[in-house]
């Protein structure tokens, strides 16, 4: 049985192999002109839910249809069997007579919150205008695209998908190719990061619900912007997660930081894998998204063959052929193993690309000097071949990973595998200076711009925006936003809320922070402080940084083109003591270009190798940046991009 459960609101199916009896509790509403239900006035009597028995159809599946034309259940009474075809249904399931009724694991819509009944949603009612859309960058896909990571709840004060539409032109002007939305599935409360979502087929009603996501994607495509969606398949949130009541969605055979693992390889895993795969296809098919970012795939515990990621990759590739446009999968993986992006036909996991935290760590340590925790190896020295952070950065820029089979002192063992710098398309690794994790998991959610001179941030930006990897900007980074991005929640379960609050304080207290200084995740002011201040984007030094980022994305198109890149074509010269670095990219076609970075406080002359000539294309300080024979002199905390002759 395929388990495609909501092709129409007249037929409801659910996989509940643990139940001996399943009932559906439902009520109907007339839809409005846009397909959403017409809410009843408060003075009008609300429809009373009705309850019918569902029919077992085999393999743990149960089915209900309220009318004979829809294959109605023979156990449904005549009074309950006449809901007309256009009705929108609110419904929930009662398993073995146990109250309360539970939402559908494959719910398309949770307008009453994660604990309330589900609501049917017909995605076919939306009138798309993107018929000519063939994927990001005219059909080339996500590789090499400028990606912009965006959290709907803090991108605007309203925190909705519709409100975000007003800022899409900003992303176009910035040079963005793909908007990557952090998770949008429903979670408990109004505000949150989204990684504790519990309804993997639905869209958070606080963001506007499923129709709003369709409007958002359509508007992005109209502006030439692709859309990637962050999805979480490795766990569900603690509040509103009822999957274990329905079936063996989790297994104690494996454990993750969140508890029992999602069941991908033990008894009953087939429908669980199908549940996840079909939820992924739904985003591509019904919401026209272009890519999925898969959260922490190293926590997808699967010892079976084929691995879950291989199955997902092959199924998505088949859908891509059917839809006639590229569909990409981007993994967040801390394994540092190129097998993640190798084709499934060659024994790989088949991901289009993967996040490369080593790029972030190397840039962060070289720029800020922080060297605690997992940053320690990125400072170089000790038993490492690299004497210091500039040498570490040079390795990452030319070989992809620092930990490529070398010792990770943080993990206490060798980590990763080497990249084939001649063969691997370097665009299969994502490089970045900031992400939601690297900002939000700091105690105060402080951005790197608060710790650096503007020229130093500009240098870091140029190195990854003009490097061989696929670049990703975290929202607000482009104008050195003064607002933090902190960890926030809005759980209505006080026990859970207090546990999160105490856990956050204990975590940072153990590292020497005053527990009183840790922002309260449950305080609405924590979320409000994290909302971008759009009034500052074009003002003063913020506006200068915004212009720099836009100039770098424009140069990327001119200098790197649309084709593959290789780490083998990148060379880095540097001086650890004088704190300068020159990254030179010798493209397969055309002239080479260089990004020259001076991280020292005073002026430096940076050698440009044997190039007979050099032209400055972009400079943070264009007045004091001067090309001389074989070198470029620039002030401290500065960067220049040069075309080499």
In order, the DSSP letters of 260-311 are: EEE-SSSTTHHHHHHHHHHHHHHHHHHH---EEEETTGGG----SSS-HHHH
Q: Is the pLDDT of residue 337 over 70?
A: yes
What CA–CA distances, in Å, run from 157 to 168, 523, 531, 534? 15, 16, 6, 10
- What size, in residues, is the chain? 645
Indicate whether 163 pLDDT > 60: yes
The pLDDT confidence band at residue 3, using thresholds 50, 70 and 90, is: very low
Q: CB-based contacts of 196: which residues, under 8 Å, 6+ apart?
A: 187, 188, 236, 237, 238, 239, 489
Residue 34 has pLDDT above 70, yes or no: no
Q: What is the pLDDT of residues 362-393, one digit of tens each?
A: 999 999 999 999 999 999 998 899 999 999 99
- Reply yes or no on whether 299 is catalytic: no
Q: Given 199, 332, 334, 404, which residue is catalytic?
A: 332
Buried b (16+ CB within 10 A) or exposed e, 235-261: bbbbbbbbbebbbbbbbeebebebebb
Q: What is the pLDDT of residue 41?
A: 53
pLDDT tens digits, one per residue of 112-125: 999 999 999 999 99
295 noted as active-site residue: yes
pLDDT value at 75 more than 50: no
Q: Determine the Cα–Cα distance for residues 586 and 594; give it in Å rounded to an integer.
A: 9
Starting at the earlier edge strand, list the strands of the sheet with 61-64.
12-15, 61-64, 55-58
What is the mean pLDDT of the segment spanning 179-199? 98
**Least confident range of 127-131, 492-496, 590-594:** 590-594
Q: What is the pLDDT of residue 349?
A: 98
Q: Would you state the pLDDT for residue 398?
A: 98
Mean pLDDT to the nearest integer, 490-498 = 94
Q: Where are the domains of the chain?
A: 12-102, 566-644
- Give the tokens for residue 516: 């009183």
Q: In what order do the strands lie in the sheet containing 604-607?
A: 604-607, 631-634, 626-628
Neighbours of 25 (CB within 10 A): 18
Q: What is the pTM of this model?
A: 0.94
pLDDT tens-digit series, residues 37-54: 555 555 555 678 999 999
Residues contacting 308, CB < 8 A, separation 6+: 233, 264, 273, 276, 300, 302
pLDDT tens digits for range 65-74: 876 433 344 4
pLDDT digits (tens, 9 = 90+) for 132-150: 999 999 999 999 999 999 9
Which pLDDT does position 80 carry in this prediction?
Answer: 41
Per-residue pLDDT tens over the stretch 583-603: 999 977 778 999 999 999 999
Of 10, 90, 295, 478, the catalytic one is: 295
CB 133 within 8 A of CB 219: no
Closest CA to 196 of 258, 126, 139: 258
Does residue 108 register a pLDDT over 80? Answer: yes
**CATH superfamily, domain at 566-644:** Golgi alpha-mannosidase II (2.60.40.1180)
Q: Is the pLDDT of residue 611 over 90?
A: no
Mean pLDDT across the chain, nearest whole number?
93
């Amino acid at each position: 049985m395929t388990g495609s459960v909501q092709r129409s609101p007249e037929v409801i199916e659910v996989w509940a192999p643990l139940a001996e009896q399943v009932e559906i509790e439902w009520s109907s509403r007339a839809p409005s002109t846009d397909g959403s239900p017409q809410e009843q006035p408060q003075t009008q009597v609300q429809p009373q839910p009705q309850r019918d028995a569902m029919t077992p159809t085999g393999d743990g599946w149960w089915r209900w249809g309220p009318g004979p034309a829809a294959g109605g259940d023979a156990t449904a009474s005549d009074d309950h069997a006449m809901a007309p075809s256009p009705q929108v249904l609110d419904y929930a399931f009662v398993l073995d007579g146990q109250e309360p009724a539970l939402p559908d694991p494959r719910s398309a819509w949770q307008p009453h919150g994660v604990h309330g009944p589900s609501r049917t949603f017909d995605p076919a009612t939306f009138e798309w205008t993107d018929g000519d859309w063939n994927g990001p960058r005219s059909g080339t896909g996500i590789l090499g695209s400028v990606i912009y990571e965006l959290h709907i709840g803090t991108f605007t004060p309203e925190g909705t998908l519709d409100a975000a539409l007003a800022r899409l032109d900003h992303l176009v002007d910035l040079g963005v190719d793909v908007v990557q939305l952090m998770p949008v599935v429903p979670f408990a409360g109004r505000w949150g990061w989204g990684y504790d979502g519990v309804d993997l087929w639905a869209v958070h009603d606080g963001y506007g619900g499923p129709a709003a996501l369709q409007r958002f994607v359509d508007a992005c495509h109209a502006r030439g912007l692709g859309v990637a969606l962050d999805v979480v398949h490795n766990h569900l949130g603690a509040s509103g997660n009822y999957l274990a009541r329905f079936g063996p969605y989790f297994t104690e055979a494996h454990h993750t930081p969140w508890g029992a693992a999602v069941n991908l390889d033990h008894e009953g895993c087939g429908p669980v894998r199908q549940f996840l795969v079909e939820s992924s296809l739904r985003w591509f098919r019904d919401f026209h998204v272009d890519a999925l970012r898969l959260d922490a795939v190293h926590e997808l515990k699967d010892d079976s063959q084929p691995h879950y990621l291989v199955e997902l990759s092959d199924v998505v590739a088949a859908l891509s052929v059917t839809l006639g446009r590229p569909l990409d999968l981007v993994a967040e993986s801390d394994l540092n193993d190129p097998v993640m992006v190798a084709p499934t036909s060659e024994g790989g996991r088949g991901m289009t690309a993967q996040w490369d935290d080593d790029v972030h760590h190397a840039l962060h340590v070289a720029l800020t000097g922080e060297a605690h925790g997992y940053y320690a190896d990125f400072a170089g020295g000790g038993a490492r071949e690299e004497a210091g952070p500039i040498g570490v950065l040079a390795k990452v820029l030319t070989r992809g990973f620092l930990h490529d089979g070398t010792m990770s002192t943080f993990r206490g063992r060798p980590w990763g595998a080497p990249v084939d710098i001649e063969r691997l398309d370097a665009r299969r690794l994502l490089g970045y200076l900031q992400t939601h994790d690297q900002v939000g998991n700091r105690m105060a959610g402080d951005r790197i711009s608060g710790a650096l001179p503007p020229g130093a941030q500009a240098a870091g930006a140029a190195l990854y925006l003009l490097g061989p990897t696929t670049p990703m900007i975290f929202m607000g980074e482009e104008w050195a936003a003064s607002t933090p991005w902190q960890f926030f929640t809005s759980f209505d379960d006080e026990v859970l809320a207090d546990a999160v609050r105490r856990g956050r304080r204990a975590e940072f207290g153990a590292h020497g922070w005053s527990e009183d200084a840790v922002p309260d995740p449950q305080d609405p002011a924590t979320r409000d402080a994290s909302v971008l201040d759009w009034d500052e984007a074009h003002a003063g030094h913020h506006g200068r940084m915004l212009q720099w980022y836009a100039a770098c994305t424009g140069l990327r198109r001119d200098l790197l083109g649309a084709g593959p890149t290789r780490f083998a074509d990148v060379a880095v010269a540097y001086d650890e003591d004088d704190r300068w670095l020159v990254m030179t990219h010798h493209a397969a076609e055309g002239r080479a270009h260089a990004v020259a970075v001076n991280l020292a406080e005073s002026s430096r002359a940076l050698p440009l190798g044997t190039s007979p000539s050099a032209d400055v294309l972009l400079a943070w300080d264009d007045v004091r940046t001067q090309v001389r024979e074989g070198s470029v002199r620039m002030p401290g905390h500065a960067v220049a991009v040069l075309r080499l002759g």
